[in-house]
Structure 1
Amino acid sequence: MRTGFADLHHAVLKTDLCSYCGACVPACPVDVLSYAKEQPVIDGSCASGCRVCFDVCPENRAGGTVLQDYMADHRPDEERQLVGRLTDPELLARTGSGGLTTGLALYLLESGRVDGVVMTGFGGDSAWEPRPLIATTRGEVIAASGPKYALSPTLSVLDRIAEEGHERVMLVGLPCHIESLRQLQAAQDRLEEGPRRAVRAITHAVGLWCGNNFRTEGTERFISAVGVDPARVTEMGYTRRDGRLEFSVSTPDGSTGTPFGQYLGYLLAGQTAPSCQGCRRWHAAYADVSVGGLDTPGLKWSGFMVQTREGHDLVSGAEAAGYITVQDMSPDERAWLARKNQGSRGFGTPKPLYSKGNQR
């Protein structure tokens, strides 16, 4: 039998399927894995018979039973498709859609139901590089909100969750991150103490709808293409100016704004991550709550799906506490999502998105 990393190499890395989710490195029980160029690499020998890195990978094409078993144990009495948004008008004005994920995170954190929120912010080795973080304050949650158009090893923070002593944590991630989490939860008894404690600490998982993702170097190249030296960039983000969304980069000399459509078009033209090109797991089917923007420009509502009992309690609690407001999806919104789901069936989407009786 090959080692887990050998299987990972042949089935995932060699075929450019790695989604850089961040799960395999902290899960390795002999600590011989690290990252290089958005992929895991090995420096040392695997433990005999160990397959943990392969088993927790969302691209291993063997986790379907684990994922469906998890949902069978956690599915609510009624799956719901709704729209929601922040009730705070100042925070809502900052968002691209309804800011529902921010509202859920703030509710859990400020009510004391969690002591940290795993999110993705900017500021890795470079200002434009997404970096996983554990937000512990309202300000940190708000600062990390908003889209990140690049791969992020979100689950690489498992070691930090344990080291920093977090006992209850919410995780926000893409569909691949959520699938890794569920497989880590299934394999937790095979993990070392630190990662095992971290996995057990994650009490809520919010999945973000994902249509595509991009190489981090794509943003760096775009910054150069608009005439800014990437080495001088101190901050980047997405801002609204005169009603339109802009990609903005700042240097010591000031800021430069570019229409967001131009930036996204550049990434779509040649910077799509290979692992994303054939992925059809857009709606995070295994998250407690699955959240995304609806196909209506300027609409200040987030579409979302409540998919587990934990998700039902989370949404109900945040609504009752006044962090979010919730409504039924309109027929047009439901139809749009149904069409999107019909065109995206594949591994990781094992069930129909809609069933009878899903009205709020």
Structure 2
Amino acid sequence: MTSAHSIPKHKKAKALKSSSPRPAKELCSECGLCDTYYIHYVKEACAFLNQQIAELEQQAHGGSRNLDSEDDLYFGVHQNMMAARKKQPIPGAQWTGIVSTIACEMLERGIVEGVVCVQNTKEDRFQPMPIVARTPEEVLAARVNKPTLSPNLSVLEQIEHSGMKRLLAIGVGCQIQALRSVQDKLGLEKLYVLGTPCVDNVTRAGLQKFLETTSKSPDTVVHYEFMQDFKVHFKHEDGSVEKVPFFGLNTKKLKDVFAPSCLSCFDYVNSLADLVVGYMGAPFGWQWIVVRNDTGQEMLDLVMDKLDTEPVMSRGDRHQAVQQSIPAYEKGVTLPMWAAKLMGVAIEKIGPKGLEYARFSIDSHFTRNYLYVKRHHPEKLEAHVPEFAKRIVSQYKLPEV
């Protein structure tokens, strides 16, 4: 395959100047690849033009997921899973700061020369600003998730031009699929990929609508997350935490908030990262860590002495809750807040926990997204939906489209 270094200069310039509609059109996740001359590879690299998770898993991990294993089916190729939290959390981190700690360690030990991460602009705490961090201070300035579409890969040209040979990239599934597709064009000797699970990102305008629709104080929200207790947790500037039950969200108003790319994504668990750190498969207050390959284990080993860990657990049965959620979402059902709180308390006590909660979340989103693709892009359905997602969706009765 042609290397990036051999792309004619006039093609690079043309790609850089292009402001035409993205090749993926409305499904573009704004990953940033098309902001660089690597747009030359977009038809092969874009997760929404060429879904190739199975092929890239083989390339990245040296093996494919076993679709007859429930853990592989849901969580992808992996060597190990655990729950973890830092013994001494990083102040201001979204959780305890495991991702930031790994990145800082890799820089301080000289394992990598730069880290692709996302700070925010000075003007807006939620506006993403991708950078190639060269110091731990720059990494720490990027702590806390940005719940908006982010062009992380827009910095790829900087990496090639810098002569950098060892890189850590932090990103979400659509970004990582594109990165894996072009990684051998970057001139790197070693690429480390640290992923986070990702679902339901929004544009900046969509984020504002979500905050104003859901939070009592949208202007003071520092970060938020949909948590395992079936509540959205909003952390505010004064340190207070506001909790809003899932079932009390104004679904009718919010159905059009999420990006079409997210409504057609089936890589919630970031299948192509070496190491994944999130919360969805862990007990409340802990992080879920998935080691996918030897490179991921090497990264995790750097910080193991700084972590408390425990085995993953799984409890409950998600199936009935998922089946009931399908028509509720379709009809835009919103419960009165008192009923939403009551239902939240009941489900928290008897509902799915640990890995079963993760499977609940995956099932809920995959069934919704399958229906979205079938309705809006039926011509893409067969090729775009991975085999593992088809198997997961097949467990449920879906409405006729």
Q: Which structure's residues are more often helix, by fraction?
A: 2
Displacement of 1:17 in angstroms is 0.8
Give the C-alpha shift of residue 22 in structure 1.
0.9
8 Å Cα contact 2:22-2:34 kept in structure 1: no
For 1:304 and 1:350, the matched residues in 2 are separated by: 24
1:69 correspondence with 2:58: yes
Shift in alpha-carbon separation, 1:124–1:17, aligned structure 2, 3 A: farther
CA distance in 2, matches of 1:103, 1:222: 30
Match status 1:215 vs 2:215: no
SS at match of 1:151: coil
Deviation at 1:100, TM superposition (A): 2.1
Question: Among 158, 181, 184, which residue is 2:182 paired with?
Answer: 184
Any gaps of 5 or more consecutive residues in structure 1?
A: 34-50, 189-195, 250-254, 353-360
Q: Structure 1 residues 163 and 61 mapped into 2: Cα distance closer, same or farther (>3 Å)?
A: closer
Q: CA deviation at 1:9?
A: 6.4
Counterpart residue number, 1:272: 258
Tell me the residue number matched to 2:275.
289
Larger mean CA deviation between 333-342 and 152-161 belongs to 333-342
Q: Is the 8 A contact 1:88 1:323 kept in 2?
A: yes
- In the TM superposition, residue 175 of structure 1 has moved relative to its aligned partner by 0.6
When residues 150 and 121 of structure 1 are mapped into structure 2, their CA distance, relative to the original with a 3 A threshold, is same
Bigger mean CA offset, 264-273 vs 99-108: 264-273
Structure 1 CA distance for aligned equivalents of residues 239 and 81 of structure 2 = 39
Measured after TM superposition, the shift of residue 82 of structure 1 is 1.0
Measured in 1, the distance between the counterparts of 2:233 and 2:33 equals 33
Alpha-carbon separation, structure 2, partners of 1:79 and 1:286? 13
Alpha-carbon RMSD across the aligned residues, in angstroms, is 4.1
C-alpha distance in structure 2 between counterparts of 1:156 and 1:324, whole Å = 33
Work out which of the residue numbers 163, 167, 192 in structure 2 matches 1:204. Answer: 192
Aligned to 1:46: none
2:22 counterpart of 1:17: no
What TM-score, normalized to structure 2? Answer: 0.62
Structure-2 change in CA distance of 1:339 and 1:220 (3 Å): closer
CA contact (8 A) 1:107 1:323 kept: no
Shift of 1:104: 1.7
Identity, in percent, stands at 22
Instruction: Quote the residue 1:146 is aligned against.
Output: 144
Residue in 2 aligned with 1:328?
311
Answer yes or no: is the 8 Å Cα contact 2:83–2:282 preserved in 1.
no
What's the CA shift string for 1:127-166, capped at 9, x where partnerless?
5311111222222222211121100000111112233443
Q: What residue identity is the alignment partner of 1:282?
A: Y
Alignment correspondent of 2:345: none
Q: Deviations over 1:68-89 (max 9, x none)?
A: 3314526899621111222324
Change (3 A) 1:185 1:150: same
Which of 219, 223, 226 pairs up with 1:238? 223
1:157 partner amino acid:
V
- Specify the code of the residue in structure 2 equivalent to 1:21: C
Report how far residue 206 of structure 1 moved.
Answer: 1.2
User: Structure 1 residues 300 and 70 mapped into 2: Cα distance closer, same or farther (>3 Å)?
Assistant: same
Deviation of 1:324 (Å)? 3.1
Instruction: From 288, 293, 301, give the equivalent of 1:308.
Output: 293
Q: Residues 280-304 of structure 1: CA distance to partner in whole angstroms, max 9, x if unpaired?
A: 210001110122113778x332102
Q: TM-score, normalised by structure 1?
A: 0.68
Output the CA distance in 1 between the equivalents of 2:221 and 2:110: 31
Distance change (3 Å), C-alpha of 1:103 and 1:324: farther
Give 1:335-346 correspondences, 5 Å limit: 335-342=356-363, 344=366
1:208 Cα deviation after fit: 0.9
In structure 1, C-alpha distance between the alignment counterparts of 2:62 and 2:295, rounded to whole Å: 11
